[in-house]
Amino acid sequence: MNQLIHETSPYLLQHAHNPVNWYAWGEVALAKAKQENKLILVSIGYATCHWCHVMERESFENEEVAALMNQHFVCIKIDREERPDIDAVYMEAVQALGANGGWPLNVFLLPNTKPFYGGTYYPPQHWTHLLTQIANAFVQQPEKLADSAEHITELLNRSEVEKYGLSFVQRSLSADLIKVIANNLAKHYDTQSGGLGVAPKFPMPSIYLFLLRYIAFSKDEKAFHQTILTLVSMAYGGIYDQIGGGFSRYATDANWNIPHFEKMLYDNGQLVSLYAEAYSLLDNLATDNPAYTQELKTLFRQVVHETILFVKRELRGQEGNFYCALDADSEGIEGKFYIWTLEQLEDSGLVDLELLKKYYCVSPTAEGNWEHGYNILFRNQSNTTFAKEQGLTIVEVEQKVATWKKILLAQRAERIRPICDDKTLTAWNSLMLKGLCDAYQVFGETEYYELAKANAEFLFGTMVTDQQIWHSYKNGKTSLKGYADDYALVIQAFVAFYQISFEEKYLFKAKELMDYALANFFDTKENFFFYTDQTAEQLIARKKELFDNVIPASNSIMTHNLHLLSLYFENATYRQLADNLLAALLPLVEKEVRYLSNWAILCINYLTPTIEFAVSGANYQSLVTELNKKYFPNKILAATATQSTLPLLAQRPALSDKTLIYVCQNQTCLLPVETVQEAWKQVG
């Protein structure tokens, strides 16, 4: 055993029995490097990372390779999910060296922690050659390594304002500008299979949330067809678990059929939000083909429901918390838990096996539709088309599919399961909480509310201490001070949960956390949020997240939060800060929305002013439910049965015999009305 045996991270514990003398990042390892004047090897990954496992098997479990590493380096293992701050610094360093990013990330540092070389996965022979070269260079050419490290460190500490040529000059938003942004995105459409570009393809929820808002704003038919094509292709593809629900991290092919099988909480939480919102949009669209629209709605609702059931079944802890992820591998084979040989299907006892094979594109031969004789289950047509081709009714098809799923899910449950990364991350739980809130607003399912409430109470009671957020939780203990995305996503989730529960403590806590973030994360010189708390460990660079990835950037989420909280609390300072942040990024949003889609959503929200609905009276819940039936994502809800100190409600008391709806925008409220229909008329 090495030093990692004392850690709680599943990823670090996976390496605790390697012959490599691994240390966790901390004073012990860093002091050892300085005292012994040894280079540091930092290896970063996560528990469900396929190529991390491969490199471990090939190199880190090899006695000879381990001896070489131990002789020349202080070896540090880092779980990127526990320490995203360290990962961000050294990932940028490797990219500055001209290498592609990814995991495992292997970076070589001087004893002062400044990086001079790095890369991702290395085959064993290449790895041992590289270790020897670097060890020799440290003895023979230390000045050269030091010069390289200084240069990279200077690059890491460049100002974001300088790096991207940002300014805070206010520009007026217009419908034409939004159209330019959308047209620039359209240049990257894959109009055959959905998504953007070529393989590999990642679900990028904020891109399609932007397109949904843009469709409602502009009635752009091209954007509509591309968004629907993408959502249907993902739901039909192997990236979606056709038997158990939930999405894998990405597809390795252009058609979404061949997944990289790991399942991440952050993807599934956001995709619940996306498909719920897409359902709501369709539910409010006039259409020339109501039967097709209904089939799309049925599909999207099913995806939401099955994904939530998957998360509840396989990623939920006993305290209302959610775990991080499921591994891609089981029994040392990628995807083995999810894939089927023809023989396994024939032995399953399923009736209508030939129909199942056609429905799920199973190869008629033992070769399989993937590799090594295995089949990935995916679809290539709608239930309507399949029913017509097979001479069945849609109801018959749906009944057969439900039976197939039930039987195969039960049989699959008997297999050796992939490893679950059972730590709890605040940011990812917040994304799942937001997804549950969005699903409840659209579908009104009590189960979604109960899951959301349990998770909100866990976050509120365990992961938030006064104004301090904790990043990680395992074995009953919180650890690590929260990062900017923890604060941004908890605030976002608490605002969302308030809008389905109307428990005001969540909204007031969101404001407390925002004030803490402004005091401890905000850079008053550049007007962006740092990723780390000013009281946190000081690394060689203090970074800021500006660009949206699979998870939107903490700065874009914070800007949304500032905007919403400025309305709830009538706080002009919040609104001015949000204006400044958006103004700085707007030129980049216009040029390259693929990496700034959450900022683009805010552009639409600004251009079509956010509507505030304040509902006061005993019947508020039924009126809120009715308000949510209309697709109008650019709104905020406040409600109370009696009295409230919330500014949006404080001057709008409940009457004993009436429940009133106040419609407000741009700091102006209209006369109260008693029906939802009258309220929407006031919106116009």
Each residue's pLDDT tens digit, 605-651: 999 889 999 999 999 999 999 999 999 999 999 999 988 989 989 87
Q: Which residues contact 106 (CB under 8 A, 6 or more apart)?
A: 41, 42, 43, 44, 118, 119, 120, 122
Lookup: tokens for 276: 């719920």
Give the chain's largest Cα–Cα span.
87
Q: What is the mean pLDDT of residues 312-335?
A: 95
Average pLDDT across the chain, whole number: 96
The position carrying tokens 């089939």 is 295
Where are the chain's structural domains? 3-157, 175-330+421-607, 338-414, 611-683
Q: What is the mean pLDDT of residues 336-361?
A: 95
Helices (H), 444-503: 446-458, 484-501
pLDDT tens track for 450-473: 999 999 999 999 999 988 999 999
Considering the chain, what percentage of its residues have pLDDT values greater than 70? 99
CATH class, domain 175-330+421-607, is mainly alpha
Taking the CA atoms of 574, 575, 580 and 586 in sequence, report the sign of the dihedral they define.
positive
pLDDT tens track for 555-581: 999 999 999 999 999 999 999 999 999
Three-state SS for 670? coil
Three-state SS for 287? coil
Q: Rounded to whole angstroms, how far apart are CA atoms 291 and 50?
A: 42
Where does the pLDDT of residue 656 fall: very low under 50, low under 70, confident under 90, or very high at 90 and above?
low
Q: What is the mean pLDDT of residues 232-252?
A: 98
* The CATH number of the domain covering residues in 3-157: 3.40.30.10
pLDDT at 319 over 90: yes
Instruction: Return the number of other C-beta atoms located less than 10 Å from residue 103's C-beta.
Output: 19
Lookup: tokens for 89: 């610094």
pLDDT tens track for 175-213: 999 999 999 999 999 999 999 999 999 999 999 999 999
Long-range contacts from 514-519, C-beta under 8 angstroms, 24+ separation: 514/487, 514/558, 514/561, 514/562, 514/565, 514/574, 515/467, 516/467, 516/468, 516/487, 517/484, 517/487, 517/488, 517/491, 517/558, 518/577
- Asked if residues 266 and 550 have their Cβ atoms less than 8 Å apart, the reply is yes
pLDDT tens track for 494-531: 999 999 999 999 999 999 999 999 999 999 999 999 99
What pLDDT score does 286 carry?
85
Q: Amino acid identity of 247?
A: F
Of 610, 614, 680, 674, the C-alpha closest to 648 is 614
How far, CA to CA in Å, does 597 sit from each of 181, 211, 549, 633? Answer: 10, 9, 9, 16
Least confident residue range of 119-128, 317-326, 334-343, 654-663: 654-663
The position carrying tokens 């439900």 is 402
What pLDDT score does 650 carry?
85
What pLDDT score does 281 carry?
97
The phi, psi pair for 616, rounded to 5°, reads -130, 120
pLDDT at 652 over 80: no
Q: Rounded to whole angstroms, how far apart are CA atoms 273 and 259?
A: 21
What pLDDT score does 288 carry?
85
DSSP 372-384: TTEE-----S-HH
